[in-house]
Amino acid sequence: MRTIVKTTLILFAGIAMTACGQKWQEESKDGYNLVTQKNGRTLGYSPASGVQILTKGGYAFKDLNRNGKVDVYEDWRKDPLVRAKDLASQLSIDEIAGMMLYSGHQAINGPNITAAQKKFLEEDNLRAVLMTSVSSPADAARWNNNVQAFVEGVGHGVPANNSSDPRHGARATAEFDAGNGGTISMWPSSLGMAATFDPALVEEFGSIASKEYRALGIATALSPQIDLATEPRWSRFNGTFGEDPKLDTDMARAYVDGFQTSEGDAEIKDGWGFESVNAMIKHWPSGGPEEAGRDAHYSYGKFAVYPGNNLATQMLPFTEGALKLNGKTKMATAVMPYYTISYGQDPSGANNGNSYSKYIITDLLRDKYGFDGVVCTDWNITHDYSSVFAFEGKPWGNELLSVAERHFKVIESGVDQFGGNNDKGPVLEAYQMWVDKYGEKSARERFETSAVRLLMNSFRTGLFENPYCDPEETSAIVGQPAFMEAGYKAQLKSIVMLKNHGNALPEKGRLKVYVPPYFEPARQAMFGGQAAAGRWVDPVPADMIGKYYDKVDNPKDADFAIVFINAPASGSGYDRADVAKGGNGYVPISLQYEDYTATYARETSIAGGDPYEDFTNRTYKGKTVTTSNKGHMQLVRDTRKAMGSKPVITVINISRPMVMSEIEPYTDAILLSFGVQNQAILETISGANEPSGLLPMQLPANMQTVEEQFEDVPRDMVCHTDTDGNKYDFAFGMNWSGVINDARVKKYK
């Protein structure tokens, strides 16, 4: 069991220089002590952990392994790689196995760590924790401090490296007030940031978000998602920077530079420091080319296909962007492969999920492109699953192996860490398999190699010196007014105006507006979470509209109308009801509102095969799918009819390409919202903000071109041409003067 030695400290405010040349002073903070020193590193530690402060040459050092001397890894004056190698050589295989784990999702509902968290931190030696929701910034800071104090007293005192998926999305109904802050700054989606065509804005986001992350105790970002979104039906399109290789590459580079770079007093070395956040770029070698758009979180979507033989283009945002930075940190420090089987790409003929593929991980990523950082699997790839539609394990290509055998194969491929695994047992079994196959010396060397990579991401970010957060500072940093304002300005820049027939926009003055409610149908959560029930939605609160216009309930009384709708939603490409009727379960994913029959789909799928299926052809040719929110299309048409010749403005909350021909002729103006606050939309409609966003993707003319495009090839669809003659192609957008043709368009189009 863990032994906690409590120490009694006498704290002085002015102990910076004593007769013996001591260069440090110490003060008590909220749950930890802070040591500051002249020309030396700031240290944070918990007196309850048993760690003592040692003095050497007048400087303070943390005795993390409690052996009474300053080890190489405890000496903050030394190079991070030297320190990492020293510590890795001291760690037991049990400790390294724990470092190779990455926790399941952890909601932070208060400052205290749970019994389950204590178990995987102590018994399994896990040090990478994935944080999800937090009850408040201050709670997150105190929870982090409690975690760090707990692990500081275990073994070699290796700190926790907490992480997060993207958490800066905007709430549509939130109101921006330049004088007040929020729980965290709110920005458009990644696709929305791509719509700005402004890498400098993305780098600014990274710089701000990293400061907020570090204040919350987060030192690793499970982002950016830089998959090249060449398949328009893919459900994760919204998390990408779009389908263009050059734009995606520039955005990826800017994002990682922003997150990883510390400057000024925060910098430790080579751009790394106390405001740096490790960027885990995903999903190598791109999860974009999913066959027919089905997602690999499920077995029915496990194949990425390359009908255009275009793997090299898919990798460009990684190889030329996130792994070739402009900043001093040089390259992203971590990579997450996607669940997919990159079908037909391994020269050996093997078809394994990317983390199981030595060709994808070692031959390409490490040997050809020189990446020696952390490779972490996507979540739960070593777990079992029970059907092609179950949201469970994702061991694609290795379904028949045992859990331990899957761990061994992943390590053999060159991967360092297992996402979503809290149990060190299978990692230790995999270690023994390596011993049996390659010998004890080789096994130790292989595990130490991963340990060094993992430790580097904690040494470079200063976690070994001070992993603690001051809750008061956290509350002041996270969501501060300046950060909120920067996010709101980014939202404004992301709005794309597709149509402005007869200069319907802007609608200036104190006018009367009709804003109809819409029905949001019931839907399943994308990743197996809580389903949402159907409901009627009043898209904009009356008091928010009231700041711009007078809202009326009867369209006859209105000067103009604003119709808020969502893009078409037609499911995930698999339907259990189809199986019950004798089908194979595979159905189309539609990007239109009207019922869609897949006349032009492939007769035979490119890829297929699963232990739970007795066939390999996953075709859905000739099948029909119904869009759940067809009523949104009808709402536009009904409003057009009700308003007569008066202007109708349609605002589409869009997350991937869609067929525009069903609604475009029925509306005077179209604005695209990439997950922004409705206040930003109203600012644009009223003329306070001139739209400047550009399409980061093509909008198809019809579903035939969607079916006939290649999943791995960018910008290969026939685009919709509207009633004004404008083509909704990549880089198209309008401002008050007409079609935008600025330097951004010239650079990327």
What percent of the chain shows pLDDT beyond 90?
Answer: 93
> Given pLDDT bands bounded at 50, 70 and 90, which one contains residue 519?
confident
Q: Tell me the β-bridge partners of 514.
A: 552, 561
| pLDDT for position 512 | 98
Tell me if 77 is assigned to some domain: no
Residue 662 sits at the vertex; the CA angle it makes with 651 and 595, to the nearest 5 degrees, is 115
Tell me if 507 is assigned to some domain: yes
Cis peptide bond N-terminal to 317, omega within 30: no
Which of the listed residues 477, 505, 523 is the one where a domain comes to its end? 477
| pLDDT for position 568 | 97
Torsion of CA 466, 471, 477, 479, to 10 degrees: 130
Torsion of CA 696, 701, 703, 709, to 10 degrees: -60
Q: Tell me how many domains the chain contains.
A: 3
713 neighbors 722 (Cβ within 8 angstroms): no
> Given pLDDT bands bounded at 50, 70 and 90, which one contains residue 173?
confident
Tell me if 435 is assigned to some domain: yes
Instruction: Return the amino acid letter for 25.
Output: Q
Question: Phi then psi for 137, rounded to 5 degrees?
Answer: -55, -40
> Which domain, by its residues, includes 32?
1-70
Query: Are 513 and 378 in a shared domain?
Result: no
Query: Are 55 and 137 in a shared domain?
Result: no
Q: CA 356 to CA 354: how far, in whole Å?
A: 5
Averaged over 369-387, what is the pLDDT?
A: 98
Q: CA 500 to CA 504: how far, in whole Å?
A: 6
> Given pLDDT bands bounded at 50, 70 and 90, which one contains residue 528?
low
CATH of the domain at 527: 3.40.50.1700
| pLDDT for position 176 | 80
396 neighbors 302 (Cβ within 8 angstroms): yes
Averaged over 636-650, what is the pLDDT?
A: 98
Tell me if 280 is assigned to some domain: yes
Query: Are 540 and 428 in a shared domain?
Result: no
Query: Are 66 and 112 in a shared domain?
Result: no
Q: Is the pLDDT of residue 126 over 80?
A: yes
Give 325's contacts (C-beta < 8 A, 6+ positions apart): 253, 256, 257, 260, 331, 332
**SS3 state at 609:** coil
Q: What is the pTM for the complete model shown? A: 0.95
| pLDDT for position 696 | 98
Tell me if 704 is assigned to some domain: yes
Query: Are 242 and 176 in a shared domain?
Result: yes
Query: Are 145 and 246 in a shared domain?
Result: yes
274 neighbors 262 (Cβ within 8 angstroms): yes
Q: What is the DSSP string of 689-729?
A: S------SS--BSSHHHHHHS-TT-SS-SPBPB-TTS-B--
Helices and strands of the chain, counted as H and E runs: 21, 30
| pLDDT for position 407 | 98
| pLDDT for position 385 | 98
Cβ-count burial 624-645 (b if 16+ within 10 Å, e if not): ebebbbbebbbbbbebbebbee
Query: Are 502 and 436 in a shared domain?
Result: no
CATH of the domain at 251: 3.20.20.300
What percent of the chain shows pLDDT beyond 70?
Answer: 96
Which of the listed residues 37, 70, 103 is the one where a domain comes to its end? 70
Give 67's contacts (C-beta < 8 A, 6+ positions apart): none
> Given pLDDT bands bounded at 50, 70 and 90, which one contains residue 525?
low
Query: Are 36 and 97 in a shared domain?
Result: no
DSSP 34: E
Query: Are 303 and 377 in a shared domain?
Result: yes
> Given pLDDT bands bounded at 50, 70 and 90, which one contains residue 20?
low
| pLDDT for position 182 | 82
81-95, 422-436, 510-524, 580-594, range with the lowest pLDDT: 510-524
Which of the listed residues 477, 509, 528 is the one where a domain comes to its end? 477
| pLDDT for position 526 | 54
Averaged over 441-461, what is the pLDDT?
A: 98
Q: Is the pLDDT of residue 2 over 50?
A: no
Supply the mean pLDDT for the chain.
Answer: 95
Query: Are 700 and 649 in a shared domain?
Result: yes
Tell me if 85 is assigned to some domain: no
Query: Are 406 and 522 in a shared domain?
Result: no
Q: Is the pLDDT of residue 16 over 70?
A: no
| pLDDT for position 14 | 39
| pLDDT for position 18 | 44
Q: CA 471 to CA 468: how far, in whole Å?
A: 9
Q: Is the pLDDT of residue 178 over 50?
A: yes
| pLDDT for position 233 | 98
689-747: per-residue pLDDT in tens? 999 999 999 999 999 999 999 999 999 999 999 999 999 999 999 999 999 999 999 99
Q: Is the pLDDT of residue 368 over 90?
A: yes
Tell me how far CA of residue 56 lies from CA of 53, 70, 460, 467, 606, in angstroms: 10, 8, 22, 22, 65
Tell me if 25 is assigned to some domain: yes
Residue 268: its H or E element: strand 267-269
Averaged over 279-299, what is the pLDDT?
A: 98
Tell me if 276 is assigned to some domain: yes
Rg (CA), the chain: 27
Averaged over 254-277, what is the pLDDT?
A: 97
Query: Are 134 and 181 in a shared domain?
Result: yes
Judged on CB neighbours under 10 Å (0-12, 13-18, 19+), 299 is buried
Q: Is the pLDDT of residue 524 over 80?
A: no
User: Cβ atoms within 10 A of the Cβ of 606, count?
Assistant: 16
